[in-house]
Amino acid sequence: MPRIQFIAADGSEEFIDAVVGLSLMENAVSNGIEAIRAVCGGNAYCGTCRVYVDPAWRAVTGEVTEMELPLIEATDDTTPGVRLACQIPVTPALDGLIVRTPLSQE
């Protein structure tokens, strides 16, 4: 199981053992990562599952997809590495992934 680190806006850290085949959002929610609200349940509609992918991992997770872009722009979140966690499938290659979460998902 890939081990993934979430760093909250206050600097607190949580680690999860993620299930391959589920999205990063699904893994975060099922492991109680509170900063991931995921109001729309993973349909790329709410923008409340935003994470900031650590620079060292952006080539592995990939860049913002065309599906994500309009929603991310609508949130006015221009933080480097911003992605929708519901659009990041967890694969074995993500073992060690580090993501940060926003102070607010509004």
Q: How far is the CB of 39 from ligand FES (least distance, A)?
A: 6
How many amino acids of this chain bind ligand FES (CB under 6 A)? Answer: 13
Q: How many CB atoms lie within 10 A of CB 37?
A: 18
Asked if 24 is part of the footprint of ligand FES (rule: CB under 6 A), the reply reads no
Find the binder of ligand FES among 35, 84, 90, 94 (CB under 6 A).
Answer: 84
Asked if 25 is part of the footprint of ligand FES (rule: CB under 6 A), the reply reads yes
Question: What is residue 36's three-state secondary structure?
Answer: coil
Q: How far is the CB of 69 from ligand FES (least distance, A)?
A: 12
Question: What is residue 50's three-state secondary structure?
Answer: strand
Buried b / exposed e over 85-102, threshold 16 CB at 10 Å, is bbbbebeeebeebbbbbb
As separate numbers, helices (DSSP H) first and strands (DSSP E) second, the chain gives 3, 5
Q: Which residue stretch of 7-15, 45-53, 58-66, 74-82 sits at the interface with ligand FES (rule: CB under 6 A)?
A: 45-53
Task: Give whichever of 48 and 61 is closer to ligand FES, judged by the CB atom.
Answer: 48
